[in-house]
Amino acid sequence: MKGRVKKIFDSISRDVDVIVIANHIDPMIDSSFFYVTGYETGLFEGSVAFLYPDGSCVVLVSLLEETSACKGSDEFIVFRSRDEYNSIISERLNDKKRIGINAEELVYKKFELLQKIAPNSTFVDCSKAIISARSIKDKNEIERIRKSCNIASKVADMIPEMLHDGVREDEVAAEIEYNMKKLGADGPSFTTISSFGKNSAEPHYIGGKDTLTDNVFTLFDFGAIYSRYVSDITRTFFFGKASKKDKAIYETVFEAQQLGFDTIQAGIPLNEPHIKVAKFINDTPYKGRFIHSLGHGIGLSVHEMLRLSPLEEGAIEPGMVLTVEPGIYLPGYGGVRIEDDVLVKKNGIEILTTANKEFLEI
Ligand SMILES: [Mn+2]
């Protein structure tokens, strides 16, 4: 896709003659392959995209992917054997002095092959330019993310009905994923986190076999994938009657997220929202219990390289889609996280996930 390839070349500081995006076998497929080609269907194992400074993209695909490649707008070549695959790559690279690669996602074995095919070329890591191009979403990407966020939001609002005495964490996870698919998702964007009670204090707990009992937090972190683009949402509910402390924890996280929303705007440093939110939480009795970064970019991947973390450099820009997900975790007790996806606009933000998040006792 011309505009996207151009965007990558625009932010490369040194001359590069071609950028090679080379997929291995699933799941070691470079997610940027789908950014540059825009392909909506197909797996594209072993496929290679050659990107040129004029914005053009030529794709090398196996016969298996020919039908899927036909639906795209880029020129493609079909290889029918390993030898053909190697010789087409060789033809494309033999006169190229400087070859760009995406070091973030290129499998080492593929890199060795490229080096063997083009022994006299210099390889240049272009991953920074790719990350920066991908971090600013175009209209088409925003529409797909929006759809994915709508599906996740609808399902988040259905969760309270799924909770009853004795239900297992993985049963609720299954209900969440089933309902997302029913509403048009291609699948879950990552393994659904469904956690009850003390398990909710483990930020990346994966739904287990625990059954629901009275008076605990229940936390659900999940997302839909729609036409390759993802959403990522977390909701925490209280099952039973909450204590004053439980309500206070929830309110603190809720206010922390509002502060995050109020802070995020185009032009400010990427690390500022996290620093403000962490300070806010650290001024409460839950000091030190916010143990991850405030958010991250989403798009073709759930964790795009862009972070809302204290260490991130650069500025927030219009077109970025970021999660805002403060949390408080008390080991052995429980945790609360509230996560939404926001689109940064020229003026302000748009919250793309719209599910209810008022404190709810079920
Ligand atoms: Mn997230």
Task: Judge if 152 and 127 occupy the same domain.
Answer: no
Task: Judge if 94 and 163 occupy the same domain.
Answer: no
User: Nearest-CA neighbor of 149 among 224, 220, 222?
Assistant: 224
Query: Residue 300 belongs to a domain with what CATH number?
Result: 3.90.230.10
Whether 356 maps to a domain, the answer reads: no
Ligand 1 centroid vs 74 CA: distance in angstroms? 32
Whether 357 maps to a domain, the answer reads: no
Residue 72 structure tokens: 């795209």
Strands (E), the chain: 18-22, 48-51, 57-62, 75-79, 98-101, 122-125, 187-188, 193-196, 216-222, 224-226, 229-230, 233-239, 295-296, 307-308, 321-324, 327-330, 334-337, 340-344, 349-351
Ligand 1 centroid vs 297 CA: distance in angstroms? 9
Quote the domain boundaries for residue 13: 2-134
Ligand 1 centroid vs 198 CA: distance in angstroms? 20
Whether 12 maps to a domain, the answer reads: yes
Task: Return the percent helix, strand and coil in the chain, to nearest 5.
Answer: 35, 25, 40
Q: Which of 134, 162, 184 is the last residue of a domain?
A: 134
Task: Judge if 99 and 199 occupy the same domain.
Answer: no
* pLDDT at residue 299 in the model: 98
Ligand 1 centroid vs 340 CA: distance in angstroms? 8
Q: What is the pTM of this model?
A: 0.94
Whether 108 maps to a domain, the answer reads: yes
Task: Judge if 247 and 313 occupy the same domain.
Answer: yes
Task: Judge if 126 and 169 occupy the same domain.
Answer: no
Task: Judge if 125 and 149 occupy the same domain.
Answer: no
pLDDT tens, N- to C-terminus, the chain (362 residues): 889 999 999 989 779 999 999 999 999 999 999 999 999 999 999 999 999 999 999 999 999 999 999 999 999 999 999 999 999 999 999 999 999 999 999 999 999 999 999 999 999 999 999 999 999 999 999 999 999 999 999 999 999 999 999 999 999 999 999 999 999 999 999 999 999 999 999 998 976 899 999 999 999 999 999 999 999 999 999 999 999 999 999 999 999 999 999 999 999 999 999 999 999 999 999 999 999 999 999 999 999 989 999 999 999 999 999 999 999 999 999 999 999 999 999 999 999 999 999 999 99
Residues with CB under 5 A from ligand 1 (ion): 232, 323
Task: Judge if 281 and 331 occupy the same domain.
Answer: yes
